[in-house]
Amino acid sequence: MEPWQRAFLHPCVAHRGWSGGAPENTMAAFRLAISEPAVHWLELDVHLSKDDVPVVIHDSTLNRTTNDKGRVRDRTARELSRVDAGSWFHPVYAGEPVPVLEQVLALAAGRCRLNIELKEDGPDKDRLARNVTQLIRRYCLERDVVITSFDPALIAAAKKHLPVVETGLIVDKRSARLMDKLRSLGASNLSIEYRSVNASLLKEAEAAGIRIMAWTVNDRRDLSRLVAMPQPFQICTNYPDRWLAAVQEGAGSRA
């Protein structure tokens, strides 16, 4: 199989942007990812700010990835724009802020597709889904976005507010009647921990019309093994360069 065929079969999804090369979920990481022509997907995480603006950050608190502490939900989007979300990764990224979702939509429009994970610990699930889908509609990206979540309620809310958008459930591992659960949610995508991806799952998903994304694959040997598989699925990674190397090398041509 040629490298371009492997890249087509197993598209790279840049996890929180190119988060192995820049601070996760920042504009720097997203710009770095789309600078690689072979990367056609970005994955990102969204919470609501205090003033109900969708903001891009993985955790519900600022503690791990910024120079501040406290809950994201307790800060306005303007306040979050003043937080340093880059220094923890490397001094060159000092001052990199927590972006709002609208910035990422504007960057990606016409250049890259998005996998937007909805994350909400509080009671505002419907509000989060509504505000995110409103932005997607405003940027006319309904066909260029997949909305995903571990929480089925958030998937249902997204479908309610924007029926045409693709949705997906995120799971750690395969469970009984998983495809039936996806159908009941109206979801067409499954994001699953990469160690659960095998020929049996892929066959079941294909029969059900479900697209698979394997997360989060960073080890070079795992990437080589997965890109050698003949079935189509996405590969989510912090290191698009390692994915590209695996695609180009074609190591382990049989799975």
- What is the CATH number for 225? 3.20.20.190
pLDDT for the residue numbered 121: 67
Q: What is the reported pTM? A: 0.95
Separation between Cα atoms, residue 90 and residue 141, nearest integer Å: 33
Task: For residues 140-158, give the mean pLDDT.
Answer: 97
pLDDT score recorded for residue 252: 43
Within-domain flag for 103: yes
| Antiparallel, parallel or unpaired: β 54-56 and 211-215 | unpaired
Contact 41, 114 (CB under 8 A): yes
Is the confidence at residue 251, as pLDDT, over 60? Answer: no
215 lies in some domain: yes
- Residue 55 and residue 154: Cα distance in Å, rounded? 16
Q: Mean pLDDT over residues 150-174, rounded?
A: 97
Q: How many CA atoms lie within 13 A of 216 on its CB side?
A: 14
Q: Which range is least confidently modeled, 17-26, 80-89, 123-132, 160-169?
A: 123-132
What is the pLDDT of the chain when averaged over all its residues? Answer: 95
Which contiguous run of DSSP H or E holds residue 75?
Answer: none
Q: CA 60, CA 64: separation in Å to the nearest integer? A: 10
Catalytic status, residue 58: yes
Q: Please report the DSSP string for 103-148 in residue order.
A: HHHHHHTTT-EEEEEE---SS-HHHHHHHHHHHHHHTT-TTSEEEE
DSSP 60: S
Residue 254 lies in a domain: no
| Reported confidence tier of residue 254, pLDDT bands at 50, 70, 90 | very low
More confident residue, 236 or 252: 236
Mean pLDDT of 148-167: 97
Rounded to an integer, the average pLDDT of 120-137 is 90
Number of structural domains found in the chain: 1
Q: Is 234 exposed, middle or buried (0-12, 13-18, 19+ CB in 10 A)?
A: buried
The closest of 40, 47, 42, 108 to 74, measured between CA atoms, is 47
224 pLDDT higher than 80:
yes
C-alpha span between 89 and 150 (Å, rounded): 27
Whether 255 maps to a domain, the answer reads no
The single residue of 10, 15, 47, 161 carrying the catalytic annotation is: 15
**Is residue 230 assigned to a domain?**
yes
Residue 170 β-bridge partners? 191
Q: Which of 10, 40, 47, 58 is catalytic?
A: 58
Q: Which domain holds residue 220?
A: 3-249
Q: Which two tokens stand for residue 35?
A: 């600078």
How confident is the model at residue 5, as a pLDDT? 85
39-89: pLDDT as tens digits: 999 999 999 999 999 999 999 999 999 999 999 999 999 999 999 999 999
